[in-house]
Amino acid sequence: MRGKPAYLGVDVGSVSTNLVLLDEDEKVLEALYLKTGGQPVKAVQEGLARLSEEAAGEVRVVGVGATGSGRQLTGVVVGADIVKNEITAHAVAALQRFPGVRTILEIGGQDSKIIIIRQGVVVDFAMNTVCAAGTGSFLDRQAARLGVAIEDFGALALQSEHPVRIAGRCAVFAESDMVHKQQMGHTTEDITRGLCQALVRNFLNNVAKGKEIQPPVAFQGGVAANVGMRQAFEEALAMEVNVPTYFGVMGAIGAALLAKEEMARRPRQTCFRGFEMSRTDFRTTSFECDGCPNHCEVIEIYLNAILAARWGGRCDRWDQLERSHLVAGGKQLLTSL
């Protein structure tokens, strides 16, 4: 057993895949932000390969947590000790960074959420339902349309003195309204700032509606990189908005913290498959169950040709099988790796 103990957190979202290594003192050793690109398994494998180059010799992973919309799949792929939803993961990470935090605004590629914390515990939360979805992706695309690099988008917005009012009910309206404003001759600065304000209005009206936003406020998720969005939030809320250093990988940090908590509560050997799994062959297949007219699409995940997991059915018909296969598969796994 070489290297210092570390906790791995993996957050697989629809747009980005993030991996974080934390040491025993909960300090970030490594943080990776990758594009998921529609291939979560590949993204996770690539991330592990890179972590392995950076840190494999120096650290010994003693706990793994998975989160994000791809948490179930990731859990199987990396061998997670705990699989948690992204709301809990984000709250745990924010609380570690700002112990007194009372409101968390989190905007990622596809989802946006607000988490209300009182006395160190989550008391309420909301996720986008009818709208305010895809804010990160939307900003990406509009930056491309305006011919601005997404990294410069926020800074450009800060230069504006006369922001343009843009209809923010939904992304489609915002886009057509933005194009209209462009065609009316407004400057790119004014449009970018107007767009940030529109998205903040949309978030506050659709996601945060009815929630009591109290300071201190933390703003995290990929969109927090955008200083224009941060400023628009500060204006709209009339309070300071804090962006943590690792704003983009807070979900992964939370997953790693949860893994640490879990291993302390129930000490055991980690299920981590090792950095070498970046070279393992993962294959997913699916079939349509014909047990009833639901025709569920059942997904099977094979690890080196052994069935490692199966899900997707609405009834327990395939779950039952999953267990027996998993037991058999688990034994073979131990001998094959």
Partner 1 sequence: MKVTFPHMGTLWVAAKAILEDLDLEVVVPPRPTTRTMNLGVKHSPEFACLPLKLCVGNYLEAFERGADAIVMAGGIGPCRFGYYAQVEREILNDLGYSYRMIVLEPPKGHLSDLVNEIKGFTGQRSLRRIYQAALFGYRKLGALDAIERRTNQVRVDEAARGGTGHAVQKATALIDRAASMDDLKTALARGLEVLDQVPRKESGDPLKIGLVGEVYMLLEPYVNLDIERQLGEMGVLVERHVYLTDWVRSHLTADFLRFDHEREMRQAAKPYLGHWVGGHGVETIGNSVLYARRGFDGVIQVAPLTCMPEIVARSLLPVVSQDHGIPFLSLFLDEHAGEAGLRTRLEAFVDLLERRREQRRRRASTLSLEVAGHSR
Taking CB under 8 A as the rule, does residue 122 contact partner 1?
A: yes
**Cis ω for the linkage preceding 215 (within 30 of 0):** no
Query: Which among 177, 188, 178, 179 has a CA at the least distance from the CA of 147?
Result: 188
Pair of tokens at residue 241: 């908005």
Taking CB under 8 A as the rule, does residue 293 contact partner 1?
A: yes
Total number of residues that touch partner 1 (CB under 8 A)? 26
Taking CB under 8 A as the rule, does residue 288 contact partner 1?
A: no
Taking CB under 8 A as the rule, does residue 323 contact partner 1?
A: yes
Contact call for residues 91 and 115 (beta carbons, < 8 A): yes
Nearer of residues 111 and 190 to partner 1, judged by Cβ: 111
What is the DSSP secondary-structure string of 274-305?
-GGGGGS-EEEEEEE--SSTT--EEEEEEETT
Choose the stretch contacting partner 1; rule: CB under 8 A; options: 1-9, 58-66, 194-202, 293-301. Answer: 293-301
Query: Which among 75, 63, 115, 64 has a CA at the least distance from the CA of 94?
Result: 115
Pick one of 120, 151, 165, 240: the residue that binds partner 1 (CB under 8 A): 120
Query: In the complex, what is the shortest distance from the CB of residue 120 to partner 1, in angstroms, rounded to a whole number?
Result: 7
Taking CB under 8 A as the rule, does residue 69 contact partner 1?
A: yes
What is the DSSP secondary-structure string of 91-135?
HHHHHHH-TT--EEEEE-SS-EEEEEEETTEEEEEEE--SS---H
Choose the stretch contacting partner 1; rule: CB under 8 A; options: 115-123, 176-184, 192-200, 271-279. Answer: 115-123
Residue 294 CB-half CA count within 13 A:
11
Nearer of residues 121 and 334 to partner 1, judged by Cβ: 121
Residue 297 to residue 183: CA distance in whole angstroms: 46
Query: In the complex, what is the shortest distance from the CB of residue 122 to partner 1, in angstroms, rounded to a whole number?
Result: 5
Pick one of 2, 38, 119, 281: the residue that binds partner 1 (CB under 8 A): 119
Pick one of 23, 60, 85, 150: the residue that binds partner 1 (CB under 8 A): 85
Taking CB under 8 A as the rule, does residue 295 contact partner 1?
A: yes
Range 141-159 burial, b when 16+ CB lie within 10 A, else e: ebbeeeebebeebbebbee
Pick one of 5, 34, 88, 289: the residue that binds partner 1 (CB under 8 A): 88
Nearer of residues 324 and 335 to partner 1, judged by Cβ: 324
Residue 67 to residue 82: CA distance in whole angstroms: 9
Taking CB under 8 A as the rule, does residue 123 contact partner 1?
A: yes
Q: Could you give the string, one character per residue 199-218, with x where binding to partner 1 holds by CB under 8 A and - elsewhere?
A: -----------x--------
Taking CB under 8 A as the rule, does residue 35 contact partner 1?
A: no
Taking CB under 8 A as the rule, does residue 181 contact partner 1?
A: no
- For residue 212, give the amino acid letter: E
Q: Which residues bind partner 1 (CB under 8 A)?
A: 69, 84-88, 119-125, 127, 129, 210, 292-295, 314-316, 319-320, 323
